[in-house]
Amino acid sequence: MKVVAEARDTLDKGHNLAWTLPLVQALGPASRRLSIQWVRRSIQRLLPLTDFDNLTAVTSAIDELRNYEGCSPTQEEVWQRSYEISWPRWYAARIAVCHLYRAWWYSQFQTNNQFVLEQEAALRCMLEASGQPSEARELMFAEFEEVARENGLLA
């Protein structure tokens, strides 16, 4: 997929601000929802490569994000929950899920691209914590392509 190759090249050149925006745009009309799905699945897929204190708590927090679907939680509610998830703060997976929650909220309730910055923060936490950034990055891109394929955006 050309957009993935371009994103890979962007990261190789050291540009890490808004590098996911072309990927988001490639996901078409449902791009915000599918982008959050991609980041959620990437975090789940990268968990085995990172340290965490309580796998059940982290995976439950990821799954609980679905509880907000169809609701209109306030920013304060989502920020409070993300803060609770991120404790203790020395585990990158918890911080990544915190950013995922915030990315979800921005994707639902703002029209700007702030959600892109939050989802990039989530992915960056996982990539840096993996200890295997090249392998982790390829798993992340594979997950993007899978989301695109499942939604008829790839042959």
**One-letter amino acid identity for 84?**
E
pLDDT, residue 89, reads: 74
Give the up-direction half-sphere exposure of residue 48: CA atoms within 13 A in the CB hemisphere: 4
Which token pair is 25? 């745009």
Give the number of residues written for the chain: 155
Distance CA 103, CA 22 (A): 16
CB 35 within 8 A of CB 107: yes
pLDDT, residue 15, reads: 86
Which token pair is 99? 């950013």
**One-letter amino acid identity for 142?**
A
Give the count of beta carbons closer than 10 Å to the beta carbon of residue 55: 11
In order along its 155 residues, the chain shows pLDDT tens digits of 899 999 999 999 988 888 999 999 999 999 999 999 999 999 999 999 998 889 999 999 999 999 998 899 999 999 999 999 998 778 999 999 999 999 999 999 999 999 999 999 999 999 999 999 899 999 999 999 999 999 999 76
Angle formed by the axes of helices 133-150 and 114-129, to 10°?
130
